Amino acid sequence: MIINKRCNAPAWKDLFTSSKMPESLSKLDEIAHNLWWVWNPEAKALFKSLNPSVWHENFGNPVKLLQSLSQSKIEEVMEDSALQARIADIYEKFRAYIDEKPDNTKPSVAYFSMEYGLTNILKIYSGGLGVLAGDYLKEASDTNIDLVAVGFLYRFGYFDQTITSDGQQVAVYKPQDFEALPITQLFDENGRQVQISIPFLDHMLMANVWSVAVGRVTLYLLDTDIQENNEWDRTITHQLYGGDWENRMRQEYLLGIGGIELLNRLGIKKDIYHCNEGHAALINAERLANHIERDGLTFLQALELVRASSLYTVHTPVPAGHDYFDESLFGKYMGRFADRLGISFHELVDMGRENPGSGEKFSMSVFALNTCQEANGVSFLHGKVSQEMFAPVWKGFFAKELHVGYVTNGVHLPTWTQPEWKTFIEEKISSDICHTQEQESVWNKIQDVDNEEIWKVRTELKQKFIRYIQKHYGDNWVRNNGDPSKAVDLINSINPKALLIGFGRRFATYKRAHLLFTDLERLSKIVNNSDRPVQFIYTGKAHPADGGGQGLIKHIVDISKKPEFSGKILFLENYDMQVASMLIAGVDVWLNTPTRPLEASGTSGMKALMNGVLNFSVLDGWWFEGYREKAGWALTDKKTFQNQHHQDQLDAATIYHILEEELIPLYYNRAEGKEYSDEWIQWIKNSMNYILPHYTMRRMLQDYIERFYNPLAKRFKLISADSGKIAKELVEWKIDVAEKWDQVEVENCSMIVHDRTGDHSLTVGEMLEVNLYIDKKDIAGDLLAELIEVKADKEDANKLLLEEVTPLEIVEQNGSKVHYRIRKEAENPGHHKLAVRLLPTHPALPHKMDFSLVRWVNID
Ligand SMILES: *Cc1c(COP(=O)(O)O)cnc(C)c1O
């Protein structure tokens, strides 16, 4: 019928046109598309100078800025010879940096993370984990490591936060305009878009690939929001930490399986595969399958090679913070892998269970632990906490024996020092601070700097921060406050001469943002002392699903509106990297009050430190290691109350006390006619001298190289040589030992006490002897026998604390019969418990936890 509409669908042909730029502007465009500018203030200043208001409106986005230049402005730039010289100079520095070849003496690394905080304009991060990953890439570039990274290009990223006048957080998801970001879509040599496709349910999932140049390092970002995908699949890369568990499963599938597929597609192979948090663990499922399908290895052989080249960094201190998936949900996406790996589906799911064979959910972290030879926490304390948390994975071992290590986090100094302060450091400390920042001796020079000069820069940074607040928050406050004059008062109330205390972070409840507000009367006295003014500035986002965190924000916003606190307590909305960089440099003190031991590391305090700001924090995370006397303040590390509410009360009282009796008096301890306290500046000097050098990203990267990358690469090289000769031997040996393990016969194990005093009991100083006779039957190689001494925990009798592990010596070996003995002096009085542990040994094992067989032997 003629009225039936008839229309076929067009097949659009892609046409890409780029604007034609004069050569010197194309140099600027090249710089704009490499995040090198993020940590090179000269380059930023150059962009800003081209059009300060556009720069400001776009939160410092040079790509957007260049796109918005009018033809007349371009001509103006071309004719300005001084500006041309400046562009040429910066470009030359940029090229000299970029053209350096990576250091091939260090292992190469593929790094995987769900988020990267590189700059506030690239909204692919939410908080600390992402900022750490972003800083890591920048430092890998500065240190010249051969590193490639993989993540997602989120259409909406993490949310923007607005706060209503009654303190409610509103989460706004704004789409990112990819064309106006410092990223580049990847095309192949034929000019076609590079796309990866991976099996997904009953079809293929496609993703476009974008690259972000981070100095000399490349970060590849996957993007599924493309027309080739169905509507449902397009949403996979829409939001960071949004959606339900299924969405999380789909994202982790894409990051792992798609991430490795991408590297394969680009022909990239690295020595080390580093999972930043468990989210990326599925890379190892795909790597296993690749080894099996391409190299003809068995599952177990592939597992040896994959493990030997993998590191898992955990950032979460509590089991609840890890990802767990129902077996059916896991199976829906990963089911096909059982076939590819040549194992049963149950075996596959068991790789993610603390107790194989149980009905536990699939844990990404456990899978990561089972497929990565090494694992680490992110501070000394968090390393210990992680050992406890992961102890159930390795049966037969005590938490403190585990191979789980740590590398304390750090921050990228060139990113997080404000330009004024960076220049100051380069002048007074070292012109090559980029390469010397981790050496404490270099920072000794700070002790000789004139106090006046330090105060001058500190004051500049405070004023700059206040101008920033006025510029960015002024309009909003006027709009939100009903009464514009009140808002203006508020804006003018921020006092650069006051002691400014900052608190900025994710509003997770464990961070205890409310602690300061426990006793409002006492707080009011502190902030309303006109002789010694103090102001608090709070900022932070709560996850949209975290009602508790949003309640905390409301609580603080409500208090900040009370007459006695108006202008004394401020809440800045939409905490992001830009607000962070102003805040951590623009206050005098950085306050952090987490519940111990839930702050795995924390990094904001390190950023503050690098700008001459003092820390006042709970002795948790990095501050447990970082704190020095006369260089900051610490809330005691002793948890004295089981009841968290009582603990909060005590901690709050301690905070008030320290503020009233120590911190505020120190700040205002000014000699006649002076604007500052000499003692305060001495504390700044101490903190920069003795703390700062140990919390740089440079030190952190060096730790990763020395503690993990080098040993992993060395062992991988060894066991993978000759088509994996040693790896194959190891597997053969493991299979053989596992088969024969139950045959091992313990003939006798007994203890003799060499009782000198004749009182039939062991006295300190006397010898005890344990003899063990076994028949190891057909097992090849020696078994290790260890005497394990434990004692019961005073607080929890069911918990055994490891005291000592001592190997027994082989005194006689007759065929398969072995006699072991240990003689040792009793050292500590008290009730101890002893047992002997038998383990198989092989020279190619990296550590005891590498093989799952343990046999406990009772001592008669
Ligand atoms: C540094 C940073 C964080 C991390 O803060 P913590 O101290 O680890 O809580 C979070 N968000 C932003 C925007 C940051 O810059």
Does residue 507 contact residue 513 with C-beta atoms inside 8 Å?
A: yes
Q: Which tens digits make up the pLDDT trace of 517-551?
A: 999 999 999 999 999 999 999 999 999 999 999 99
CB of 127 within 6 A of ligand 1: the answer is yes
Cα 119-140-613 angle, rounded to 5 deg = 55
Half-sphere CA count of 462, side-chain side, radius 13 A: 22
* C-alpha torsion sign, points 705, 406, 852, 359: negative
9-18, 79-88, 658-667, 756-765: lowest mean pLDDT where?
9-18
Q: How far is the CA of 628 from the centre of ligand 1 (A)?
A: 22
CB of 603 within 6 A of ligand 1: the answer is yes
Q: How far is the CA of 731 from the centre of ligand 1 (A)?
A: 44
Q: How far is the CA of 603 from the centre of ligand 1 (A)?
A: 6
Please identify, by atom number, the ligand 1 atom nearest to the C-alpha of residue 505: 9
| Interacting residues of 467 by C-beta distance below 8 A, sequence separation 6+ | none
Q: How far is the CA of 688 from the centre of ligand 1 (A)?
A: 20
CB of 315 within 6 A of ligand 1: the answer is no
pTM: 0.95
Cα 614 versus chain centre, distance: 23
Say what the pLDDT of residue 17 is.
Answer: 61
Please identify, by atom number, the ligand 1 atom nearest to the C-alpha of residue 592: 7
Q: How far is the CA of 130 from the centre of ligand 1 (A)?
A: 9
Q: How far is the CA of 51 from the centre of ligand 1 (A)?
A: 30
Say what the pLDDT of residue 398 is.
Answer: 96
Kindly tell me if the per-residue pLDDT of 102 is higher than 90.
Answer: yes
> For residues 556-589, b (16+ Cβ closer than 10 Å) or e, as one string?
bbebbbeeebebbbbbbbbbbbbbbbbbbbbbbb
Q: Which tens digits make up the pLDDT trace of 346-399?
A: 999 999 999 999 999 999 999 999 999 999 999 999 999 999 999 999 999 999
32-46, 504-518, 561-575, 844-858: lowest mean pLDDT where?
504-518
Residue the block writes with tokens 């006649």: 672
Choose which residue among 119, 126, 131 to substitute to test ligand 1 binding: the one with the highest number of ligand atoms within 8 A of its C-beta.
131
CB of 151 within 6 A of ligand 1: the answer is no
Query: How big is the chain by its Cα radius of gyration, in Å?
Result: 30
Smallest CA separation from ligand 1 atom 6, residue: 602
Say what the pLDDT of residue 765 is.
Answer: 85
| Interacting residues of 610 by C-beta distance below 8 A, sequence separation 6+ | 411, 413, 416, 417, 421, 688, 692
Q: Which tens digits make up the pLDDT trace of 182-192?
A: 999 999 988 89
pLDDT over 90 for what percent of the chain?
A: 83
Q: How far is the CA of 517 from the centre of ligand 1 (A)?
A: 22
Smallest CA separation from ligand 1 atom 3, residue: 128
Smallest CA separation from ligand 1 atom 11, residue: 127
Please identify, by atom number, the ligand 1 atom nearest to the C-alpha of residue 540: 11
Q: Which tens digits make up the pLDDT trace of 619-670?
A: 999 999 999 999 999 997 676 778 888 888 889 999 999 999 999 999 999 9
Residue 52: CB atoms within 10 Å: 11
Which amino acid is it at 156? Answer: F
Dig out the tokens for 682 from the structure.
Answer: 């001495």
11-25, 33-47, 89-103, 222-236: lowest mean pLDDT where?
11-25
Q: Is 192 helix (H, G, I), strand (E, B) or coil?
A: coil
CB of 580 within 6 A of ligand 1: the answer is yes
Q: What is the mean pLDDT of the chain?
A: 94
Choose which residue among 138, 413, 603, 620 to substitute to test ligand 1 binding: the one with the highest number of ligand atoms within 8 A of its C-beta.
603
Say what the pLDDT of residue 637 is.
Answer: 64
Q: Which tens digits make up the pLDDT trace of 41-85?
A: 999 999 999 999 999 999 999 999 999 988 888 889 999 999 999
Say what the pLDDT of residue 71 is.
Answer: 86
Smallest CA separation from ligand 1 atom 12, residue: 127
Name which of 211, 210, 186, 207 is nearest 198 in CA terms. 207
Dig out the tokens for 526 from the structure.
Answer: 């502190």
Cα dist. 292→116, 422, 719, 733, 799 in Å? 32, 51, 16, 19, 42
Q: How far is the CA of 165 from the centre of ligand 1 (A)?
A: 25
Smallest CA separation from ligand 1 atom 8, residue: 602
Name which of 572, 599, 602 is nearest 590 in CA terms. 602
CB of 604 within 6 A of ligand 1: the answer is yes
Q: How confident is the model at residue 828 (pLDDT cuts 50, 70, 90)?
A: confident
Mean pLDDT computed over 281-305 = 98
C-alpha span between 452 and 677 (Å, rounded): 10
CB of 505 within 6 A of ligand 1: the answer is yes
Q: How far is the CA of 655 from the centre of ligand 1 (A)?
A: 22
Q: How confident is the model at residue 3 (pLDDT cuts 50, 70, 90)?
A: confident
C-alpha span between 603 and 614 (Å, rounded): 14
C-alpha span between 416 and 654 (Å, rounded): 30
Q: How far is the CA of 71 from the centre of ligand 1 (A)?
A: 40
Q: Which tens digits make up the pLDDT trace of 385-442?
A: 999 999 999 999 999 999 999 999 999 999 999 999 999 999 999 999 999 999 999 9
Smallest CA separation from ligand 1 atom 1, residue: 604
Kindly tell me if the per-residue pLDDT of 757 is higher than 80.
Answer: no
Mean pLDDT computed over 442-463 = 97
| Interacting residues of 17 by C-beta distance below 8 A, sequence separation 6+ | none
